[in-house]
Amino acid sequence: MPSPAIAPSAPAVRSTGRDDGGAAAASRLPGLAVAVGLALRAWLAGRALPLLGGAVCGILLGVLVRSRWTPAPHHAPGIAFASRGLLQASVVVLGFGLDLGQVARTGLHSLPVTLVTLAVSFATAWWLGRALRIPARLGLLVGIGTAICGGSAIAAAAPIVRPDEYETAYAISAIFLFNLVAVLLFPLLGHALHLSDAGFGTWAGTAINDTSSVVAAGYAYSRDAGDIATVVKLTRATLIVPVCIALAALLAWRQRRAGAGNVDLRRIVPWFVLWFLVAAGARGAGLVPAAMLPWLHEIAAFAMVVALTAIGLSADLRRMAATGARPLLLGLGVWVAVAASSLLVQAVLAQT
């Protein structure tokens, strides 16, 4: 942002952290206003169409608007904040509705499924990437994004893998496309397969890439499925840390240089997961009045709709189409393998 003009005789004024913070907050207002305005419409549409729900309506409305209107540059900070910061905040608030013991039980219960799908994702990305003659770094990014948490995992791994810009764009485009498909398809498939709330929540939490899409699909199925899907997904998201550290160590060893020392844990650690656990702990300790829980859930649900609407507004379908077919085939193959292996493991363990 350019500095305001001042008279030559005026004394220089040092910018303060509060001033910078206020300017940053003000720069977010135009984009937030657009996201909130559309989210209100999506919220009302979700009430009228409960099978879709406000979250799914938010994504669809955002994508539809983005296909006909390109946000101006001054909208970008607010839309970016809503799609990431507001999403994470809403997940933290959802933690107040869950007991920490329930979170631990659900996370441990889903851990075998999570670990199997993680291995399947990497193995399929490696094999199918070679078959399709896709660059190794691009295949690795698609595998990481599908295995853990979509664009967030790709963003965390990119400084370690050091891909070209077009490879990162390819990977994120492929992941995002199947996130949108999953939000619409998974609830329908779940009902067709007669999955229980726990079974669908575990399936969505382990087989859908991005946190926003997991939450949207889970709560479109049922509130219980949404709670379970959120916990399973957050358990899966914590794997960003060991996977990225192991990846950095492996690349450092292969390249014979200390690449592992360049890992910035502050960027890798999903801090909102830790705050989610704090919120669940406060609920379990009885620090949150029961009368506040419905209000907190509604606040979190609406914030989620705003975040998902902003994510839809960030989707550039033309740019995604321009990335070509092979990365999309890779993403499709890895996604199908992960979704199938998740259901298979649950069936073997009798968890569906």
185-211 pLDDT tens trace: 999 999 999 999 989 999 998 888 777
pLDDT at 68: 87
Domain count, the chain: 1
Cα–Cα separations (whole angstroms), residue 34 to 25, 54, 119, 298: 15, 16, 40, 20
Is 50 within a domain? Answer: no
- Mention every residue, 6+ apart, whose C-beta is less than 8 A from residue 219: 53, 55, 225, 226, 229, 301, 304
Is 289 within a domain? Answer: yes
The range of the structural domain enclosing residue 324 comes to: 111-302+317-348
Better pLDDT: 31 or 53: 31
What average pLDDT does the structure give for the chain? 78
CA nearest 179: which of 147, 140, 212?
Answer: 212
Is 344 within a domain? Answer: yes
pLDDT at 59: 80
Question: Residue type at 334?
Answer: V
The average pLDDT across 149-174 equals: 70
Is 72 within a domain? Answer: no
279-320 pLDDT tens trace: 878 887 778 888 888 888 888 888 888 988 888 887 766 665
Is 125 within a domain? Answer: yes
CA distance linking residue 63 with residue 175, whole number of Å: 15
Is 66 within a domain? Answer: no
